């Protein structure tokens, strides 16, 4: 299939976005795998649930790579600590949303200053994702307490798929959840943390999504990922 000029431009930007995400995540075990899975799941939602065209789908997948780029400003010993965080530490970590926005904006400003062509919509999506992917649908999230449709769609998608992968992955403070438990949590939090239409749409495509989970969580036992089908 012949690529459009915009699609070729997005392909050219992909190595830069992957490099930035690598710098942001390389210290943490499995972090790069997490970032790639979030990108893959965001692409799935854009294609199967939102039915976006290939250019918009690719933009969201690339933007998702940078969702936690702001964590480069947070000490790793704090991010990886297995115990509970203090209230001040939680506030400190939450600043990564603003830091991520600023990092991407600075990259964008450098491209503009040096008159280097880039995809403005892609960078807009990346900034929205970095800043708002911890907002909750009911307005209880951070950093701005946005709610409902005031949260950009790209951030709502990444919010959901980021939590899916976090639940299904081993963390210093938790074991991996099976898909069945993760699916139940999505349903429970639809309308509070997650856009209920996105949850409904994803679960409508559950069979195909399970196949993606099985391919991306290749180190996880089949029973953990596929248990929901039984």
Cβ neighbours around 200 below 10 Å, total: 13
Which DSSP helix (H) or strand (E) runs through 97?
Answer: helix 96-113
User: Given 2, 71, 159, 180, which residue is catalytic?
Assistant: 71
Q: Is 180 a catalytic residue?
A: no
What the block records as the tokens of 203 is 């679960």
Rounded distance between C-alpha atoms, residue 144 and residue 135, angstroms: 7
What the block records as the tokens of 77 is 């010993």
148 φψ region: left (φ > 0), alpha (ψ -120 to 50), beta (else): left
Q: Cis ω on the peptide bond leading into residue 71 (within 30° of 0)?
A: no
Instruction: Enumerate long-range contacts of 30-39, CB under 8 Å, 24 or more apart.
Output: 30/169, 30/170, 34/165, 34/166, 34/169, 35/64, 35/65, 35/67, 35/68, 36/65, 36/216, 37/165, 37/216, 37/217, 38/64, 38/65, 38/67, 38/158, 38/161, 38/162, 38/165, 39/64, 39/65
Q: What is the CA radius of gyration of the chain?
A: 17
DSSP state of 4: P
Instruction: Please give the positions annotated as active site.
Output: 71
């Amino acid at each position: 299939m012949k690529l459009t000029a915009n699609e070729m431009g997005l392909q050219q930007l992909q190595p830069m976005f992957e490099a930035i995400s690598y710098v942001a995540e390389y210290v943490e075990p499995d972090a790069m795998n997490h970032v790639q899975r979030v990108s893959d799941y965001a692409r799935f939602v854009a294609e199967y649930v939102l039915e976006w065209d290939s250019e918009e789908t690719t933009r969201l997948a690339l933007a998702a790579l940078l969702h936690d780029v702001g964590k480069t400003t947070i000490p790793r010993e704090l991010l990886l600590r297995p115990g509970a965080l203090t209230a001040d530490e939680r506030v400190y970590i939450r600043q990564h949303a603003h830091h991520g926005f600023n990092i991407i904006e600075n990259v964008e400003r450098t491209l503009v200053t040096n008159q280097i062509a880039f995809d403005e919509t892609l960078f807009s999506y990346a900034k929205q994702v970095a800043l708002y992917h911890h907002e909750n649908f009911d307005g209880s999230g951070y950093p701005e307490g946005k709610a409902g449709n005031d949260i950009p769609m790209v951030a709502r998608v990444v919010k959901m798929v980021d939590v899916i992968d976090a639940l299904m992955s081993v963390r210093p403070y938790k074991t991996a959840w099976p898909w069945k438990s993760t699916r139940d949590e999505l349903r429970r939090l639809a309308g509070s943390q997650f856009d209920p239409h996105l949850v409904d749409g994803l679960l409508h495509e559950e069979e195909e999504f399970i196949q993606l989970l099985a391919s991306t969580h290749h180190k996880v036992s089949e029973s953990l990922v596929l248990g929901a089908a039984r």
